[in-house]
């Protein structure tokens, strides 16, 4: 049994234990109703004894399953799984006996054990506990009819059925047939469920391995390309700075184009690497108290030259001063940077990007509004998906990875926050980020 299978089995067992509190409580309640409203001859103490024994055992299983899973051996877990049903069947036999033996309909309770057994037992174990229940039941009926044990009358009037061989035989054979049929059906269902579970596990392992391979490929490929690309960018920049001699207008234009393309490619590679880190669950790491306003100021300063070039104004409205927050500073900066950058990129000359921050109870709300091209209703559902870019955005800015917002969503949710947006085509977009303030 793998550790994961063990955890799964422990959870199922815990579910059965929790159900048992209810089911056995309901059985006792039914007995009280029979006693005080249905006029049965049941002894009240026996109900308490049933409840006491069953709850004592259940408490024992409960405590055992609460232990650290590493301390529970597979053997003891398997033992508990079967043992609890053996105890239940003993108790149900006691109930059958004290409620009139062959005249009682309490044999129905055995089905609780079989149905719950489907969840955690193997098909052979199901058949074994069903046969055990049958043997217990038939023994009680047999001993009663041969006066080996006294008969309990459930009602004040003697039915006399328990010694009538025809009624006894008819009832017992019907119950045996029903029992066998149900136990075989239950065993069949169990087998089907187990097979399906195994198939699913195999399928999951396979896709897990595949996605690991894919991530590894992306990360190796990206690292391999990043270094030469970095050198290429450096070459473009130094040539543009005149290190290789004076440039004419055409040469400058070509080199600028080259520099921008390599910049973009590097950005895409970095995004891809972030996604692969993210999928390994390693993106949000360094949580420390930070001043979020400060992050926004830094982002604005860094974006301003680009915004000026595109004639887009950036404004910051600090509605309330936010206390220090526990965040992964670099990652949150990356998110805000991406959204502000989009606000500038997908904007029109003369447009604006307005960032607001305020505190709402124990959360910080950041809104980033732009007066740009907007996102159509049809595209809005796709926005946070990997590699998605709208047609409108592609027309405006050819380059882009479509990964920024996907990464942003993972980072914000990794901080226990939320990110969403409102937009209308041609009118602009507002992104909202809500982050919990944990000082
Ligand atoms: P990228 O900007 O690199 O394409 P993002 O993940 O940051 O990738 O954004 C995904 C897509 O969402 C963009 O390509 C664009 O179509 C759309 N989008 C994001 N922000 C805005 C915005 N402020 N205005 C209009 N469209 C936007």
If one counts every other C-beta atom within 10 angstroms of the C-beta of residue 4, the result is 10
Write the DSSP assignment of 172-188 as a string of letters. HHHHHHHHHHHHHHHHH
Report the alpha-carbon distance of residue 376 to residue 388 in Å, rounded.
Answer: 13
Query: How far is ligand 1, taken at its centre, from the CA of residue 389, in Å?
Result: 6
Q: Which atom of ligand 1 is nearest to the CA of 431?
A: 23
| Token pair for 304 | 């301003």
Query: How far is ligand 1, taken at its centre, from the CA of residue 403, in Å?
Result: 9
Class of domain 287-436: alpha beta
Q: Which atom of ligand 1 is nearest to the CA of 390?
A: 16
Report the alpha-carbon distance of residue 438 to residue 152 in Å, rounded.
Answer: 66
State which of 307, 338, 373, 389 you would mutate to test the pocket of ligand 1, scoring each by most atoms of that ligand within 8 A of its C-beta. Answer: 389
Report the alpha-carbon distance of residue 279 to residue 283 in Å, rounded.
Answer: 8
pLDDT at 79: 93
pLDDT at 130: 92
Give backbone dihedrals phi and psi of 296, rounded to 5 degrees, phi first: -65, -45
To the nearest whole percent, how much of the chain has pLDDT over 70? 97
pLDDT at 282: 65
| β-sheet bridge partners, residue 146 | none
Q: Which residues have C-beta within 8 Å of that of residue 347, sequence separation ≥ 6?
A: 310, 312, 353, 370, 371, 372, 373
Low-confidence residues of the chain, pLDDT below 70?
158-160, 280-284, 439
Which residues belong to CATH 3.30.565.10 in the chain? 287-436
User: Whose Cα sits closest to atom 19 in ligand 1?
Assistant: 342
88, 106 in Cβ contact below 8 A?
Answer: no
| 288 SS3 class | strand
Report the alpha-carbon distance of residue 417 to residue 437 in Å, rounded.
Answer: 10
pLDDT at 284: 61
Q: Which atom of ligand 1 is nearest to the CA of 393?
A: 16
Report the pocket of ligand 1 as residue ranges, CB < 6 Å.
338, 342-343, 346, 370, 372-375, 383, 388-390, 393, 400-406, 429
Element holding 323 (H helix, E strand): none
| 26 SS3 class | helix
pLDDT at 158: 65
Beta strands 352-360 and 313-318 are parallel
Query: How far is ligand 1, taken at its centre, from the CA of residue 218, in Å?
Result: 22
| 429 SS3 class | strand
| Token pair for 192 | 């089907």
pLDDT at 56: 97
User: Whose Cα sits closest to atom 14 in ligand 1?
Assistant: 389
Query: How far is ligand 1, taken at its centre, from the CA of residue 393, in Å?
Result: 7
State which of 368, 402, 412 you would mutate to test the pocket of ligand 1, scoring each by most atoms of that ligand within 8 A of its C-beta. Answer: 402
User: pTM for this one?
Assistant: 0.56
């Amino acid at each position: 049994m793998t550790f994961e299978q063990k955890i799964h089995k422990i959870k199922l067992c815990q579910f059965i234990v929790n159900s048992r509190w209810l089911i056995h409580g309901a059985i006792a309640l039914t007995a009280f109703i029979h006693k005080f409203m249905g006029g049965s001859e049941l002894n009240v103490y026996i109900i308490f004894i049933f409840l006491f024994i069953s709850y004592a055992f259940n408490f024992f299983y409960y405590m055992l399953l609460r232990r650290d899973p590493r301390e529970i051996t597979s053997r003891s877990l398997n033992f508990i799984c079967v043992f609890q049903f053996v105890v239940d069947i003993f108790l149900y036999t006691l109930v059958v006996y004290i409620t009139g033996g062959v005249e009682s309909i309490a044999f129905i309770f055995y089905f609780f054990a079989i149905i719950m057994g489907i969840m955690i037992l193997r098909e052979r174990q199901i058949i074994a506990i069903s046969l055990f229940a049958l043997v217990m039941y038939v023994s009680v009926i047999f001993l009663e009819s041969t006066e080996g044990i006294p008969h309990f009358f459930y009602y004040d009037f003697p039915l006399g059925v328990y010694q009538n061989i025809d009624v006894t035989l008819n009832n017992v054979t019907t119950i045996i047939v029903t029992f066998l049929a149900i136990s075989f059906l239950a065993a069949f269902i169990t087998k089907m469920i187990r097979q399906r579970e195994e198939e699913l596990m195999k399928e999951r392992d396979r896709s897990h391995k595949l996605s690991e391979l894919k991530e590894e490929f992306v990360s190796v490929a990206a690292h391999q390309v990043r270094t030469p690309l970095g050198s290429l960018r450096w070459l473009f920049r130094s040539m543009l700075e005149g290190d290789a001699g004076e440039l004419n207008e055409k040469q400058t234009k070509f080199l600028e184009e080259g520099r921008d393309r390599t910049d973009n490619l590097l950005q895409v590679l970095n995004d891809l690497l972030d996604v692969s880190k993210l999928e390994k669950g390693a993106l949000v790491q360094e949580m420390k108290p930070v001043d979020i306003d400060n992050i926004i100021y830094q982002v604005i300063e860094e974006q301003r030259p680009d915004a000026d070039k595109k004639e887009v104004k950036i404004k910051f409205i600090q509605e309330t001063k936010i206390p220090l927050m526990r965040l992964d500073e670099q990652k949150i900066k990356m998110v805000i940077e991406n959204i502000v950058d989009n606000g500038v990129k997908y904007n029109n000359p003369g447009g604006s990007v307005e960032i607001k921050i305020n505190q709402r109870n124990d959360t910080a709300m950041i809104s980033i509004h732009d007066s740009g091209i907007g996102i159509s209703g049809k595209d809005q559902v796709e926005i946070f998906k990997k590699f998605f870019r709208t047609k409108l955005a592609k027309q405006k800015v050819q380059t882009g990875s479509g990964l920024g917002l996907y990464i942003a969503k993972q980072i914000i949710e990794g901080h226990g926050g939320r990110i969403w947006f409102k937009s209308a085509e041609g009118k602009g977009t507002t992104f909202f980020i809500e982050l919990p303030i944990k000082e």
